[in-house]
Structure 1
Amino acid sequence: MNTEDLLNQIAFIKEIDKVKYIQRKTKLFNSDRNENDAEHSWHLALMTIVLAEHSNEPIDVLKVVKMVLIHDIVEIDSGDVFIYDSEKNHCNTDEERLAANRIFGLLPKNQAEELIAIWEEFEAGETNEAKFAKAMDRLEPLLQNTSNNGGTWKEFDVKYDKVYEKKSVIKEGSEIVWNYAESLINESVAKGILKK
């Protein structure tokens, strides 16, 4: 047994506990409590397992599960950026790159390289796995906002066009899930919980 590797892995495990303290803007289903990044990632992992059959293309489900479990770990250092933020773009930033190198760098070299590569693949959004992972990442807050009578859409005055633009990424991973998501968006407008 390599004691140094084990100690590095334990250090990483302790460090990522901080994900539980990163508050997101969205709230839990039918709740006024904000979700944290750990809850979000756990939910996406289960959504991936349950909804994988609806992927546009065959996917490696375990790889997608890894993606969704680690995709927000960088927010330990960089913080959560609200997807509808009008000042800071919700994309791979220099801060996130530094965070990925630092946090995953706590692991033994081979594991660090693997997780950084998976994180980069998610961020690029080009593979079948990344497209499906991003679809799950965009679907969950949509479900939350519709369960919360508009949720963050109302709270931050987010309009239909912005929601539609951000959520349309879902179709890259799953046309079936996108058809459902699009109907939820349109129903939200009809109910008056999302303004045009």
Structure 2
Amino acid sequence: MTPENLMKQIDFIKEIDKVKYIQRKTKLFNSNRNENDAEHSWHLAMMAMVLAEHSNMPVDLLKVIKMVLIHDIVEIDAGDTFIYDVQKNHSNTEEERLAAQRIFGMLPGEQSEELIAIWEEFEAGETHEAKFARTMDRLEPLLQNTSNNGGTWNEFGVSYEKVYEKKSIMNEGSAAIWKYAEQLINESLERGILKKG
């Protein structure tokens, strides 16, 4: 490893510290404090480690962990888009792609190419690893909102139908986790912390 590569890596490490300042809409479990992107990514990595046995298909766990750790780094430039935002689509945008190229591009060639490819694979959501990683990404805020009596659902007037639609993608990564999540969504409706539109 050359000193030049080391300096590029250090610059990248300093740059991604900004992820700690990106506030998400969801709040920590049983809390009024908003979660930040770094906390979210760490939690997803732990969830992937613990829940991997429930994936529909065998997955490369290290790749899944890489995906969930880097998937929101682009928000340093692009900002956090709330999954239920009605103005801005919560899908891969050109803004996020440019952010991925700039931020991961700070790294030496091979590392840069690897992280961009992993980020793109997550966004495409077609491989077993991406499907399972996206299941983790959808499960965590569901658990947070149910622990906070509806949390962001109530705060932003999100309907049962919209939650169900956005969360059902979990079935692609884990039928078992989706079955559990679906039960939580339906129980939330019964409890009145989630309402039909």
TM-score by length of 1: 1.00
Equivalent AA in structure 1 for residue 45 of structure 2: A
Aligned to 2:184: 184
Check if 1:151 corresponds to 2:157.
Answer: no
1:114-143, Cα deviation, whole Å (9 max, x unpaired) = 000000000000000000000000000000
Kindly state the Cα deviation for residue 144 of structure 1 after the two structures are TM-superposed.
0.1
Partner of 2:66: 66
Q: Determine the structure 1 residue equivalent to 2:170.
A: 170
Instruction: Report SS of the residue matched to 1:25.
Output: strand
Q: Equivalent residue of 1:101, what SS?
A: helix
Q: Residue 53 of structure 2 corresponds to which residue in structure 1?
A: 53
> Which digits, 9 at most, give the CA deviation of each residue in 1:79-129, with x for residues without a partner?
000000001000100100110000000000100000000000000000000
Separation (CA, whole Å) in 2 of partners of 1:189 and 1:100: 38
Aligned match of 1:133: 133
Give the superposition deviation at 1:187: 0.3
Distance 2:182 2:72 in 1: 25
Equivalent residue of 2:92, what SS? Answer: coil
Q: Distance in 2 between matches of 1:72 and 1:178?
A: 23
1:68 Cα deviation from its structure 2 partner: 0.1
**Percentage of identical aligned residues:** 78
1:42-63 residue CA offsets vs partner (Å, 9 max, x unmatched): 0000000000000000000000
Q: What is the identity, as a one-letter code, of the residue corresponding to 2:2?
A: N
Aligned length: 196
User: Shift of the alpha carbon at 1:161?
Assistant: 0.5
RMSD: 0.4
Partner SS for 1:107? coil
Structure 1 residue runs without a partner (length 5+): none
Q: What residue identity is the alignment partner of 1:154? A: N
Could you state the TM-score of these two structures normalised by the residue count of structure 2? 0.99
Q: Residue 109 in 1 paired to residue 109 in 2?
A: yes
Q: Deviations over 1:128-168 (max 9, x none)?
A: 00000000000000000000000000000000000000000
Runs (4+) of structure 1 exceeding 4 A deviation are: none
Give how far 1:191 is off.
0.2
Deviations 1:2-50 (A, max 9, x none): 0000000000000000000000000000000000000000000000000
Structure 1 distance, partners of 2:89, 2:169, is 16
